[in-house]
Amino acid sequence: MKESYVIGIDFGTDSVRALVVNANTGEQVGTAVQEYPRWKQGKYCDAGVSQFRQHPLDYLESLENAVLNALDQAPPALRQQVRGISVDTTGSTPVAVDSNGTPLALLPEFAENPNGMFVLWKDHTANAEAEEINRLAHSYDIDFTKYVGGIYSSEWFWAKILRTLRVDESVREQAFSWVEHCDWISAELTGITDPLLLKRSRCAAGHKALWHQEFDGLPSNAFFKELDPLLDGLRDRLFTDTATSDEPMGTISEKWSQKLGIPADVVIGVGAFDAHMGAVGALIEPYSLCKVVGTSTCDMLVAPNDEVGHLLIKGICGQVDGSIVPGMLGMEAGQSAFGDIYAWFSKLIIEPVRTLLGEEEAAQLSKKLIPHLAEQAAKLPVTEKDIIAIDWLNGRRTPDAKHTLKGGLLGLNLASDSARIFKALVEATAYGSKAIVERFRSEGVPIHQVIAIGGVAKKSAFVMQTLADVLNMPIKVAASEQACALGAAMFASVAAGVHPGLQEAQEAMSSGFDAVYQPREAQSAVYQQLYQKYLEAGAYIENEFLQKAHLQLT
């Protein structure tokens, strides 16, 4: 039997990863990572106002380099056996496009304009717009937020569009439509980028753009016009129908076939968000919480529609039929910062070293600091008097999105050293995860097990053990270093017809699990008490500190 190969492409926050997989055996024959050069230089971003933008050239150039480098690791003849490609991306990461589907930043007059670029998932410049969407939706005849947890986020599609249209007249005049990164890059590979023709991802549309079958697609134009006349008519230039990721987007274009040196009949699958495809790569099953643990977290659940489809789960990032596994209800939650919190604390320590002692010393410290802090923190006892940290350093995604919230440290004294503070920060991220688990359970959705993927899950035993202790549940870590790209490859194999369905693709291509963290009874008992303190401290920050003191922390 002739072997078939597929390519999964995973666009992360900092880089793109390409994975070449034997669709028949699951053997991974080539993988490569390519950083985004402009992003790495900090271009088009302003962290002080939570502006994070990425240039489409970063995506195109890095995609080509990563795929070519991955293919170079395999025998040359293998290129002619590539059958399909599928892509996952961060999200919601939309871009303004012209009538041809060209991102405005690829036009000369917008080449250096951040508002013509992709608005990255963690961009929070649209906090005010998100609040306006919520106010109107909650008073409207139909609450269009009811399938996204009842709260619309500044990280999502419509808030970012409205903000951009308000602040940039040139974009307002030239933007014909808007496209999510996962849709645009998949369409770009086919050469059919017309925003009125390209297939739109069910995953992106349902979780971030308020799409639902009940609404016959997107919310009504009347709703958007009342929100702001700038949105009048845009609905007609977007989409009504959506597609799940087991469907083909189309066939690869001649341009990309030649660039990558692969056959002209390679099928390009419909894209999706990274966490959703990562959950598939990690063998998600009903009522398993799959945590993609990296700079932030995305928490995925699937369940049969006939068992939970009648529920409206409050405070999560959406519930969408087929957004993760076709035929099942996909549910998403997550934390706006996880590994980013550890990186912040590391930077807090390293930057004075850089200033005083130079780049070389800072670089050496940077490699050793987090592993050292984790080692020291692991030796500390867990007691009821420990420091409590709140993990909202980048706001709160779920439960109950509010990105204007801030983090905190409570219970410091003169014995509070770096290891104890680091331990508290790690525990805070675990408490944030527990809050998500408890919300699902309180809304009637059971969780039977936890699966973890991502950089933190693979690299930090201390973090994962703490998480298991706080959740008081075992955590299985997927073996694949590239679970998101592997999930994309699985979808590619189905879209290309190599496998008849996703279950068959998972069975043939899975890498399994390589670690299990069991909760420790003594630590878990103390953490249940500390978690209550975390909830009380969070309530104080959210209700007392921000509201009664009237501090404008935005």
In a domain, 380, yes or no: yes
Q: Are the C-beta atoms of residues 423 and 526 closer than 8 Å to each other? A: no
pTM above 0.75, yes or no: yes
By C-alpha distance, which of 277, 287, 276 is closest to 207? 276
Report d(CA 296, CA 153) in Å as an integer: 15
Q: Which residues, other chains included, contact 140 with Cβ-Cβ below 8 Å and sequence gap of 6+?
A: 223, 226
In a domain, 325, yes or no: no
Q: Are the C-beta atoms of residues 282 and 251 closer than 8 Å to each other? A: no
Range of the domain at 404: 345-435+521-552
In a domain, 19, yes or no: no
Q: Are the C-beta atoms of residues 326 and 280 closer than 8 Å to each other? A: no
In order along its 554 residues, the chain shows pLDDT tens digits of 689 999 999 999 999 999 999 999 999 999 999 999 999 999 999 988 999 999 999 999 999 999 999 999 999 999 999 999 999 999 899 999 999 999 999 999 999 999 999 999 999 999 999 999 999 999 999 999 999 999 999 999 999 999 999 999 999 999 999 999 999 999 999 999 999 999 999 999 999 999 999 999 999 999 999 999 999 999 999 999 999 999 999 999 999 999 999 999 999 999 999 999 999 999 999 999 999 998 889 999 999 999 999 999 999 999 999 999 999 999 999 999 999 999 999 999 999 999 999 999 999 999 999 999 999 999 999 999 999 999 999 899 999 988 889 999 999 999 999 999 999 999 999 999 999 999 999 999 999 999 999 889 999 999 999 999 999 999 999 998 899 999 999 999 999 999 999 999 999 999 899 999 999 999 999 999 999 999 999 999 998 755 654 545 44
Pairing outcome for strands 118-119 and 475-478: unpaired
pLDDT of residue 553: 45
87: left (phi over 0), alpha (psi -120 to 50) or beta: beta
Chain position carrying tokens 């993760």 = 324
pLDDT of residue 547: 60
Task: Please report the sign of the dihedral spanned by the C-alpha atoms of residue 325, residue 454, residue 283, residue 496.
Answer: positive
By C-alpha distance, which of 111, 242, 92 is closest to 182? 92
The letter for the amino acid at 513 is F
pLDDT of residue 455: 87
Report d(CA 297, CA 280) in Å as an integer: 16
In a domain, 360, yes or no: yes
pLDDT of residue 528: 98
In a domain, 315, yes or no: no
In a domain, 484, yes or no: no
In a domain, 447, yes or no: no
**Domain tally for the chain?**
1
Is residue 303 classed as helix, strand or coil in its secondary structure?
Answer: strand
In a domain, 538, yes or no: yes
Report d(CA 60, CA 69) in Å as an integer: 14
Q: Which two tokens stand for residue 211?
A: 């799409």
DSSP state of 91: S
